[in-house]
Amino acid sequence: MKILIIEDDKEIAECIQLAFRVGWPFAQIITTNSGQKGLKHVEEDSPDAILLDLGLPDIDGIDVLKQIRSFSNIPIVIMTVRTAESNIVRGLEAGADEYICKPFGQMELLARLKATLRRNGPVQGNSTVMYGPLNFSYSYRTVQYNGQEIYLTTTEGLILKKLAENAGNIVSYETLSETIWGESYTGAVDSLRVYVLRLRRKLEVDPSHPTLIISHANLGYSIQMTCPR
């Protein structure tokens, strides 16, 4: 397992490396303190996951994230001091798989990264899985809907699959959180809203007036399979 750390704070980078030596000793760690060098490592070293700081000296981390997403689906965990909801939304919408705010526990960071990698791992079984008009690839990273193939991130795929499995019923925020992260944590509902918004943009004719994925205030979401697109 090869992990790329893009972090300009030397002390933080060293603390993260120490956490890996203790909690994940067989991981190969690559570190860099700049966005440009990070992009080069992604292309040349093909890491299995990236830990990305946003406050880099040469390029804003969001721009690094967008550039990586233009050619790679590698799992990316943002780690940053930017705790405002708008920053979290921006990071997730740009394609981050996870967002963790500094200061964080070293073991929490490893646990979040491992959970992200599990979500991005292959799903065993048939090559496709069908729920009504939704025809998922085996990894739930693409879905055929009304004759179109739509790319999904792993997290989007897990959410859509969970809703499809329970079509017509409300799936609670807690259930969706546990499906994605293994637990329900503070801020999970806000993250779910971002992922659902991204799904609506990909699936709905008018994302501002959804007819497929329905919100239920303070409860969760449901999916209506029979409505016209």
Residue 129 has pLDDT above 60, yes or no: yes
Q: How far apart are CA 155 and CA 140, in angstroms?
A: 9
**What is the DSSP secondary-structure string of 105-125?**
-HHHHHHHHHHHHHHHSPPPS
Q: Is 17 helix (H, G, I), strand (E, B) or coil?
A: helix
Q: What is the pTM assigned to this prediction?
A: 0.62
Number of neighbouring beta carbons within 10 Å of residue 171? 21
Do β-strands 220-223 and 171-172 pair in parallel, antiparallel, or remain unpaired? antiparallel
Residue 128 has pLDDT above 80, yes or no: no
Q: How far apart are CA 216 and CA 201, in angstroms?
A: 18
Q: What are the pLDDT digits (tens) for 143-188? A: 888 778 888 877 888 899 899 989 889 999 999 988 887 777 777 8
Query: Which of the two residues, 60 and 224, has the higher pLDDT score?
Result: 60
Residue 139 has pLDDT above 70, yes or no: no
| 125: confidence class by pLDDT, cuts 50, 70, 90 | very low
**Cα–Cα distances in angstroms (integers) from residue 54 to residues 14, 83, 98, 191, 219, in the given order:** 17, 11, 13, 18, 32
- The first and second tokens of residue 117, run together, are 């990698």
Average per-residue pLDDT in the chain?
86
pLDDT recorded at residue 82? 86
Query: Which of the two residues, 7 and 112, has the higher pLDDT score?
Result: 7
In the chain the domains, ranked by start, together with CATH numbers, are 2-120 (3.40.50.2300), 128-223 (1.10.10.10)
Element of type H or E holding 216: strand 213-216
135 forms beta bridges with: 130, 144
* 131-134 contact pairs (CB < 8 A, 24+): 131/161, 131/164, 131/165, 131/167, 131/225, 132/164, 132/167, 132/225, 132/226, 133/225, 134/160, 134/164, 134/225
Asked if residue 75 has a cis previous peptide bond (ω within 30° of 0), the answer is no
Percent of the chain whose predicted confidence (pLDDT) is above 70: 93
> What 8-state DSSP symbol labels residue 7?
-
| CA atoms within 13 Å, Cβ hemisphere of 225 | 16
Query: Which of the two residues, 112 and 216, has the higher pLDDT score?
Result: 216
Asked if 153 and 95 touch (Cβ cutoff 8 Å), the reply is yes
